[in-house]
Chains A and B, each alone.
Chain A
Amino acid sequence: MTAPVLEVEDLRVQLRTPRGTAHVVNGLSYSVGPGETVAVVGESGSGKSVSVLALLGLLPARTATVSGRALLHGEDLLAMPADRLREVRGPGVGMVFQDPMTSLNPMLTVGRQLVEGIRAHGEVPKTEARRRAVELLGEVGLPDPGRAVDRYPHELSGGMRQRVMIAIALSNSPALLIADEATTALDVTVQAQIIDLVEKLQADHGTGVVWITHDLGVVAGIADRVLVMYGGRCVEDGTVDDVLERPAHPYTRGLLGALPDLTAPADELATVPGVPPAPTALPSGCVFWPRCPVRADPRCETEQPPLAVVGASGGSLPHRAATWCAEEVSLV
Chain B
Amino acid sequence: MVLAGVSVIVFSLVHLVPGDPVRLALGTRFDQDTYDALQARAGLDQPLVQQFLGWFGRAVTGDLGVSFRSGETVTSQIAERLPATITLAFAAILVALLIAVPLGTLSALRPRSAVDRVATVLSQFGISVPDFWMAIVLILVFAGTLGWLPSGGYVPLTEDPGAWLARLVLPAVVTGVVSGSVITRFVRSSVLEALGSDHVRTAQAKGLPGRQVLTWHVLRNALLPLVTVTGVQLAYLLSGVVVVEIVFSWPGLGQLALQAVQARDYPVLQGAILLFALVFLVINLVVDLLYTAIDPRIRR
Contact = CB atoms under 8 A, between A and B. Distances in A.
Nearest to A165: B202
Contacts of B209: 86, 120
A168 B199 contact: no
B293 to A, nearest CB: 11
Contacts of B212: 116, 120
Given A120-B206, A168-B206, A172-B207, A107 B296 contact: yes
Contacts of B296: 106-107, 109, 152, 154
Interface stretch (A72-80, A89-97, A196-204): A89-97
A104 B207 contact: no
B207 A102 contact: no
Q: State the majority secondary structure of interface residues on A.
A: loop
Contacts of A171: 206
A120 B204 CA distance: 11
Contacts of A94: 205
Given A105-B221, A152-B297, A117 B199 contact: no
Contacts of A106: 199, 221, 295-297
Interface in B13-51: none
B4 interface: no
A45 to B, nearest CB: 18
A89 B204 CA distance: 8
B298 to A, nearest CB: 10
> Chain A: interface residue count, which band?
20 to 34
B202 A120 contact: no
Nearest to B196: A60
B290 to A, nearest CB: 13
Contacts, number: 82
Nearest to A88: B207
A109 B220 CA distance: 13
B130 to A, nearest CB: 37
B117 interface: no
A312 interface: no
A87 B206 CA distance: 9
A89 B199 contact: no
Contacts of B203: 105, 116
Contacts of A103: 198-199, 201-202
Given A97-B198, A105-B203, A117 B295 contact: no
Nearest to A92: B207
A58 B205 contact: yes
B294 interface: yes
A99 B198 CA distance: 8
User: What 6 pairs across the A-B complex have the smallest Cβ distances?
Assistant: A89-B207, A90-B207, A117-B206, A102-B198, A105-B199, A95-B205
Interface of B: 197-199, 201-210, 212, 216-217, 220-221, 294-297
29 contacts: A56-B204, A56-B205, A58-B204, A86-B208, A87-B207, A88-B207, A89-B205, A89-B207, A90-B205, A90-B206, A91-B207, A94-B205, A99-B198, A103-B199, A105-B199, A105-B203, A105-B216, A105-B220, A107-B294, A107-B296, A109-B296, A113-B202, A116-B206, A117-B206, A120-B207, A120-B208, A120-B212, A152-B296, A171-B206
Interface of A: 53, 56, 58, 86-91, 94-95, 97, 99, 102-109, 113, 116-117, 120-121, 152, 154, 165, 168-169, 171-172
